[in-house]
Amino acid sequence: MNKTKIKLKIGEFSKLNMVTIKTLRHYEEIGLISPFEIDKWTGYRYYTVDQLSKMNLIIYLKGLGFSLEEVRDIFEDGRELPSVQEIKLKLDECGKELNRLTKRITELSALENKLQKREIMEQIFIKSLPSVVAATHRRVISGYHELFNLCPNVIGPEMARLGCECASPEYCFTVDHNEEYCSTNIDIEYFEAVKERREDSEMIQFKDIPAVEAAACINHYGVYEELPASFAKLYRHIEENGFRITDKPRFCYIDGIWNKDSESEWLTEIQIPVEKP
């Protein structure tokens, strides 16, 4: 007995496969799957039961990461499934994508952590700065990265040779003496509070640093290239609250490359001495 083929209208076919009619028309345009029959009078598109299986394959292969063009090529070769070599290529692509996503997760987590810390720590605050005896060293450096070697490997050993003991609580900072921005040839002075003055050496000079009654401060998390954003907030606060700047900014390096693995955890406290006019 002859079996009557079931003809599925495009709307019914779309519902059974849970894809839109627009998607089916696109698949038809690129030659991926076309209606079994188009009524020449009404223009109605009909699909067969066999094409349900083909549509399932398209959805399955798309879910495995094969593009529509790749699926069409598989069908045009008379195959239903990709070859082992094609699967290996997809696995390689998945590995690369996984690496990209893992890196992105790490970066997003670091950014989230950075922003959460900013919510807590970025607030501007006014505090006094103590008077100290400071061991100082001034020189021109090519970039701030030199500080990471200069402080522990050059200044530190010379201070130890002179018999310096760091004050408690510890307090160290730098001052940039340049009158304008310099990406290199930065005239910087390093200050570290010590318990008592020692004899000056060619490298280290001892100075009495007077107390500062009020300093506008902000905690900056992250790389030093992003300091301008923190400066903008701090200077806006100083202006809006009617303060007058009385001295150059101090950069108090609390956390950095020497003790933190992530740049997002670097912490620099910017301190600007101010007074009410």
Do 33 and 150 belong together in one domain?
Answer: no
Do 139 and 185 belong together in one domain?
Answer: yes
Please state, as a whole number, how many other Cβ atoms lie within 10 Å of the Cβ of residue 212: 19
| pLDDT given at position 264 | 81
Q: Is residue 1 part of a domain?
A: no
Do 236 and 163 belong together in one domain?
Answer: yes
Percent of the chain with pLDDT over 90: 58
Do 111 and 231 belong together in one domain?
Answer: no
Q: Is the pLDDT of residue 239 over 70?
A: yes
Mean pLDDT of 241-262: 88
| pLDDT given at position 183 | 75
Q: Is the pLDDT of residue 251 over 50?
A: yes
Do 43 and 62 belong together in one domain?
Answer: yes
Do 173 and 269 belong together in one domain?
Answer: yes
Helix H or strand E segment including 141:
strand 132-141
Q: Is residue 2 part of a domain?
A: no
Q: Which residue range(s) make up the domain with 104? A: 83-119
Tell me the CA distances in angstroms from 231 to 122, 133, 268, 271, one per residue in order: 12, 28, 12, 10
pLDDT tens digits for range 184-197: 888 999 999 999 99
Do 148 and 185 belong together in one domain?
Answer: yes
Q: Is residue 46 part of a domain?
A: yes
Show Cβ contacts of residue 32 under 8 Å, excluding neighbours closer than 6 positions.
Answer: 58, 68, 71, 72, 75
Report the CATH number at residue 260: 3.20.80.10
**How many domains does the chain divide into?**
3
Do 170 and 260 belong together in one domain?
Answer: yes
Q: Is the pLDDT of residue 220 over 70?
A: yes
Which two three-digit tokens encode residue 252? Answer: 């108090």
Contact 211, 129 (CB under 8 A): yes
Contact 206, 200 (CB under 8 A): yes
Query: 163-176 b/e with 16+ CB inside 10 Å = b?
Result: ebeebeeebbbbbb
Domain boundary among 70, 99, 119: 119
Report the CATH number at residue 50: 1.10.1660.10
| pLDDT given at position 120 | 46
pLDDT tens digits for range 105-149: 988 887 777 666 555 445 789 999 999 999 999 999 988 778 888
Mean pLDDT of 175-188: 86
Among the residue ranges 44-58, 115-129, 239-253, the one predicted with the least confidence is: 115-129
Among the residue ranges 30-44, 132-146, 221-235, the one predicted with the least confidence is: 221-235
Of residues 147 and 1, the one with the higher pLDDT is 147
Please state, as a whole number, how many other Cβ atoms lie within 10 Å of the Cβ of residue 160: 10
